[in-house]
A and B are shown apart, each in its own frame.
Chain A
Amino acid sequence: MKRASILLETNMAKKDVQQGTLALMVLKTLDVLGPLHGYGIARRIEQISGDLLAVNQGTLYPVLLKLEQEGAIESEWGSSENNRRARFYKLTRAGRKLLHAETRDWTETTALIDRFLAAKAEDLQ
């Protein structure tokens, strides 16, 4: 019983991280690489982020759905490298704006946190 609840908690914690960052990663990926299908996005994120998506690539899809509903990305059917039918996602104008805004927020936040964490006791006095 106890183990189960611990597992659940870690899962939840991990999911929170994903929700907050995955969307930004998807947007950045599409910005850099242009139109891409789900597998391509997942692989790209995996390459860069290590094992964040190693376990659960499927979680990408709800994020894609949400972004599409918000109008940040759009999708259409196309054919993949090995000539299979695949759904390709690309950034919209609104998505690009969103990416810039989110990127700026993110850098500001991390810079702030960095400064805060780097601060020594005497700096705070």
Chain B
Amino acid sequence: MKALRRFFVRLAASITRRGDEERLKAEVEEHLAQMTAANIAAGISPDEARRQAVLKFGAVEALKEQCRDDRGLPFLEQFVQDTGYAVRTLRRSSGFSAVAVLTLALAIGVTTAMFTLLDALILRPVPFHAPEELSLIYMGGRTGGRTFVAPAVLRAWRESPAFAGAEAAWGDIALIEADASVVTRGTARVSPGIFDLLGGVRPVRGRLFDASEGRPGTNDRVLLSEDLWRSLYQGDPSIVGRRVTIDGEAVLVVGILPSEFRFPSWNTEIWRAYDFAQPTTNTRDFPIVYVRFAANMPRADALRLAQDAARAADARNAKLEPKVRPLAAEMLDPYYERAVPFLAGGVVLVFLVLCANVSSLLLARLTERRREFSMRSALGATRARVMRQAFVESFVLAALGVVCGIGLAWVLISTARVLLPEALLLRTLNPLNIDLRALGIASASGVVAVLATGLLPAWIGTHIDPIQSLRVADRGGTETRGARAVTRGLLVAEIALACTLLVAGTLLVRSFVNLASANRGLDASGVVVVWIGFERPVFKEPASFQAAVRSVEDHIRTLPDVQQIVWSDGRPPTGGQFSWGDWTSDVPGAQPVHLEVEIYSVGPDFFAFYGIPLLRGRTFQPRDTSHDVLLGERFAEAVFQSVDPIGRTFTFDKQQFNVIGVVREIHHPSLDPHVDRPEIYTAFSGVGGYSLNIRCGNTCPDTALVRQKIRAAHPALTVNDVDALEELYFEQLAQPRAVAALGFTFATIAVLAAAAGLFSVLTYAVGRRKREFGVRSALGASPAQIQMLIMRDGFVVAVTGLAIGSIAAWSLARAIASFQYGVSLNDPSTWLVVFGVISVTTIAASWRPATNAARVNPILLLKDE
């Protein structure tokens, strides 16, 4: 307690610097005066009295010194002093400081931004209360099952002690009409209790749903997201309690949810109260069910109870069992799970390159200031004191770097949110924000940066033999050996890291280019695809179904620039009906072939519509049955090998199919080879959900407009999706594109940083070695020879770095392999790019210093001496 009080008094004294010095001086003076007076009173002569008093008092200056140290906190004061000095020094050479601070800011900013991504996409659990207790649950068998749940089962689970709560949600897309515009937004019907189940949801305005809402009569209550409220209704607070038009229906807004709340999908912006527990036989009204496990019951027991409850509620569950998908894992994207850590590794390399750069800058500067340091050590500063001074300078730089870095990270994240929302946020419920954790990482990387950039230069730069250093400094000699070795080492490391990043970056970019330009086997440009649901009982009669189909066609044809319409069940790239098993041809002696196949049901014009060439046989005719099929090339080759399949048959799942034609294979370019499956086509039969493929001329109609037309065509139709086909393909590439862009950016930063490092180090070296070049040229070396000397210096560093970097890249081959498409680490052109970029960079970086060295005039040098 006493010690603490004393610390604070000293801290306060350090900061306020009251007139304590004066006080002590006066006290000492008074003390001596009284002693002198006492001595005089004892009969000693005044001079002698004073002398004895001083003797008895002891060393005044030493005393003052001790009091000075005891009064404040000398360490802190020195630190403040050093910081002030460092700031003045750095300000004096503002160019150097700006470069160093910006480099550090770049390192810290990119690291922080990357961490924010990593955190949102992978590290952080879903942003709900006790997320490990939350799960998506459904009844399934050994081979899978339907993830939606019957109302009776939902009711049973709500009453079961297995769960602390069971609620439901169903995500969809809705049309919102505001003023004159119509936009599509993610929506969800939710049971009112879902917010309590997730926990910690507070509306920004208004209220959440009441438990009774969602039943007929109160199922028109909606909550809007803050983003939607601000963008569509200009943040008008009076919107709560008003009605807005969603899907052509006037619904009542009861509240606004914060923009951080993202559920059940990342893009849900409207929540509508719905009672999923009310009995219905329409599977369209079956929801996805989310439960919170009771904290005090073992999972196995809870699942057994849930199974019993579900079986008792619905006989169809007799052979099924509850399947659980933890909410946290549900949201993990397998691609990002691999890619984001990979990129984070890249960021660490970039961070190291930039730190090495700053480190070599600092070292060059500190060795330049040897005279100052030797002067200070001659005046009595210890090595530790001088080192501390040097270290404080890098501390100041890093502190500035952290501040600028956080700013940069904020800019990067904001840009990413605007430019890459789907690619980055797909399948995460976490908002992408620079939060306290990110700020912590920024500061931590600042600390690492201080240690990484400051320690080595401070150690080497202050290693001074005062006499020799004074001599060398006077005559502007060469670099010291230690500093030279370290600088070269740092440069080699920089180039090696840059080379590794460049290899990875080039492979990522080439993979993306290959993916984007890969032959899909069909013409997707100018095509809009609509996925329409005909599931309502209304369409059971063929006549009413045909009428609805014709009505849709007629309505769509009224849109401008629509050229052709084709129906299909399934379409690329999403795929058709996925079928998996043994396929056996009727060729004598044929073995069953195990294949995963996409089955598309298509109208006869489908092939012409998409420009898929018919290779052999014919396309569908009206009299064809559902067992007459056309084959893709890959399927034909796999099942029939070299035999002509036309007119032959094959069996699958105890059914026989007749081959009437073969068409060109279509491809689904993807990093996941399982996605690109062989395909076969059956005639469009009019069962299930349908894709309406619309080909348009110069401009395709707006997707919201297409939705409106189909809604107008028949009130019972549901529009599941409307998309431009190119965009669907593009979306599939969003992730590889984001990863390639980031990888390429990292490589660029690293290469530029390495080039800048090489340039500054060579420039500095040339400055130090002027005298040597003067002597060389006086002894007859030509400018070209001197120039070669410097260029060779740069190249030795570059080649060493390249060699190490290439080996590093090879050792990372496995990590890179899963991101490659149509290119491998053996690819010569990738290496050509890497070597080319590094060589050009090296030449560019060493050219100026080399020509400067060649221009040294020996006469002028002699004059300087």
Residue numbers of A with Cβ under 8 A of B are 37-39, 42-43, 54-59, 61-62, 65-66, 69-71, 80, 82, 84-87
Is B30's CB under 8 angstroms from A85's CB? yes
Q: Which chain B residues border A59 with CB–CB below 8 Å? A: 58, 63
Is B63's CB under 8 angstroms from A62's CB? yes
Among the listed B6, B9, B30, B57, which residue makes an inter-chain contact with A58, where contact means beta carbons less than 8 Å apart? B57
Tell me the minimal C-beta distance from A27 to chain B in angstroms.
13
Is B59's CB under 8 angstroms from A84's CB? no
Q: What are 14 A-B contacts with C-beta separation under 8 Å? A: A55-B58, A56-B56, A56-B58, A57-B35, A57-B56, A58-B59, A61-B67, A65-B71, A66-B6, A71-B9, A80-B30, A82-B34, A85-B30, A87-B27
Q: Which chain A residues border B67 with CB–CB below 8 Å? A: 61-62, 65
Q: Mark B5-28, 1 if CB is under 8 A from A, else 0.
A: 110011000000000000110111
Among the listed A38, A56, A82, which residue makes an inter-chain contact with B27, where contact means beta carbons less than 8 Å apart? A38
Residue B181, interface by CB 8 Å = no
Residue of A nearest to B3 (CB): A70
Residue of B nearest to A86 (CB): B30
Residue numbers of B with Cβ under 8 A of A are 2, 5-6, 9-10, 23-24, 26-28, 30-31, 33-35, 37-38, 56-60, 62-63, 66-67, 70-71
Q: Which chain A residues border B27 with CB–CB below 8 Å? A: 37-38, 61, 86-87
Residue of B nearest to A63 (CB): B70
Residue of A nearest to B27 (CB): A87
Tell me the minimal C-beta distance from A62 to chain B in angstroms.
5
Q: Which chain B residues border A61 with CB–CB below 8 Å? A: 24, 27-28, 63, 67
Is B5's CB under 8 angstroms from A58's CB? no
Q: Which chain B residues border A65 with CB–CB below 8 Å? A: 67, 70-71
Among the listed A38, A55, A69, which residue makes an inter-chain contact with B56, where contact means beta carbons less than 8 Å apart? A55
Is B2's CB under 8 angstroms from A70's CB? yes
Tell me the minimal C-beta distance from A63 to chain B in angstroms.
10
Considering the complex of A and B, which 9 residue pairs feature the smallest CB-CB distances, nearest first? A56-B58, A58-B58, A58-B63, A39-B34, A69-B9, A69-B6, A39-B31, A70-B2, A86-B30
Q: Which chain A residues border B70 with CB–CB below 8 Å? A: 62, 65-66, 69
Q: Which chain B residues border A87 with CB–CB below 8 Å? A: 23, 26-27, 30
Q: Which chain B residues border A39 with CB–CB below 8 Å? A: 30-31, 34-35
Q: Complex: how many Å from CA A65 to CA B9? A: 11
Residue of B nearest to A87 (CB): B27
Is A85's CB under 8 angstroms from B24's CB? no
Q: Which chain A residues border B34 with CB–CB below 8 Å? A: 39, 80, 82, 84, 86
Is B10's CB under 8 angstroms from A69's CB? yes
Q: Which chain B residues border A55 with CB–CB below 8 Å? A: 56, 58
Residue of B nearest to A41 (CB): B31
Q: Complex: how many Å from CA A37 to CA B33? A: 13
Q: Complex: how many Å from CA A43 to CA B5? A: 30
Q: Complex: how many Å from CA A84 to CA B57? A: 19
Q: Which chain B residues border A38 with CB–CB below 8 Å? A: 27, 30-31
Known: A62-B70, A65-B70, A71-B2. 20 other contacts (CB 8 A): A56-B56, A56-B57, A56-B58, A57-B56, A58-B59, A58-B63, A59-B58, A59-B63, A61-B27, A62-B66, A65-B71, A69-B10, A70-B2, A71-B5, A80-B30, A82-B37, A85-B30, A86-B27, A87-B27, A87-B30
Tell me the minimal C-beta distance from B255 to chain A in angstroms.
56
Is B6's CB under 8 angstroms from A42's CB? no
Residue of B nearest to A40 (CB): B34
Is B6's CB under 8 angstroms from A70's CB? yes
Whether A70 touches B26, Cβ cut-off 8 Å, given contacts A58-B60, A61-B63, is no
Tell me the minimal C-beta distance from A99 to chain B in angstroms.
13
Is B31's CB under 8 angstroms from A42's CB? yes
Q: Which chain A residues border B2 with CB–CB below 8 Å? A: 70-71
Q: Complex: how many Å from CA A82 to CA B30? A: 11
Q: Which chain A residues border B10 with CB–CB below 8 Å? A: 69
Q: Which chain A residues border B24 with CB–CB below 8 Å? A: 61
Residue of B nearest to A60 (CB): B31
Residue of B nearest to A57 (CB): B57
Among the listed B6, B9, B30, B58, which residue makes an inter-chain contact with A37, where contact means beta carbons less than 8 Å apart? B30
Is B5's CB under 8 angstroms from A84's CB? no
Tell me the minimal C-beta distance from B633 to chain A in angstroms.
90
Tell me the minimal C-beta distance from A24 to chain B in angstroms.
14
Residue of B nearest to A46 (CB): B56
Q: Complex: how many Å from CA A66 to CA B67? A: 9
Among B27, B33, B35, B38: residue with most chain A CB under 10 A: B27
Q: Which chain A residues border B31 with CB–CB below 8 Å? A: 37-39, 42, 57
Q: Which chain B residues border A56 with CB–CB below 8 Å? A: 56-58
Q: Complex: how many Å from CA A85 to CA B33? A: 11
Q: Which chain A residues border B71 with CB–CB below 8 Å? A: 65, 69
Q: Which chain A residues border B63 with CB–CB below 8 Å? A: 58-59, 61-62
Q: Complex: how many Å from CA A61 to CA B692? A: 96
Q: Complex: how many Å from CA A93 to CA B63? A: 28
Q: Which chain B residues border A37 with CB–CB below 8 Å? A: 27, 30-31
Q: Which chain B residues border A86 with CB–CB below 8 Å? A: 27, 30, 34
Among the listed A43, A82, A85, which residue makes an inter-chain contact with B26, where contact means beta carbons less than 8 Å apart? A85
Q: Which chain B residues border A85 with CB–CB below 8 Å? A: 26, 30
Q: Complex: how many Å from CA A53 to CA B71? A: 22
Tell me the minimal C-beta distance from A106 to chain B in angstroms.
17
Residue of A nearest to B4 (CB): A70
Among A61, A70, A86: residue with most chain B CB under 10 A: A61
Q: Which chain A residues border B9 with CB–CB below 8 Å? A: 69, 71
Q: Complex: how many Å from CA A65 to CA B10? A: 11
Tell me the minimal C-beta distance from A110 to chain B in angstroms.
23
Q: Complex: how many Å from CA A62 to CA B194? A: 69
Residue of B nearest to A54 (CB): B56
Is B5's CB under 8 angstroms from A70's CB? yes
Q: Which chain A residues border B58 with CB–CB below 8 Å? A: 55-59
Q: Which chain A residues border B60 with CB–CB below 8 Å? A: 58
Q: Complex: how many Å from CA A59 to CA B31? A: 12
Q: Complex: how many Å from CA A42 to CA B35? A: 10
Q: Complex: how many Å from CA A55 to CA B70? A: 22
Residue of A nearest to B9 (CB): A69
Q: Complex: how many Å from CA A84 to CA B30? A: 8
Tell me the minimal C-beta distance from B254 to chain A in angstroms.
60
Is A84's CB under 8 angstroms from B56's CB? no
Q: Complex: how many Å from CA A54 to CA B34? A: 15
Q: Complex: how many Å from CA A38 to CA B32? A: 10
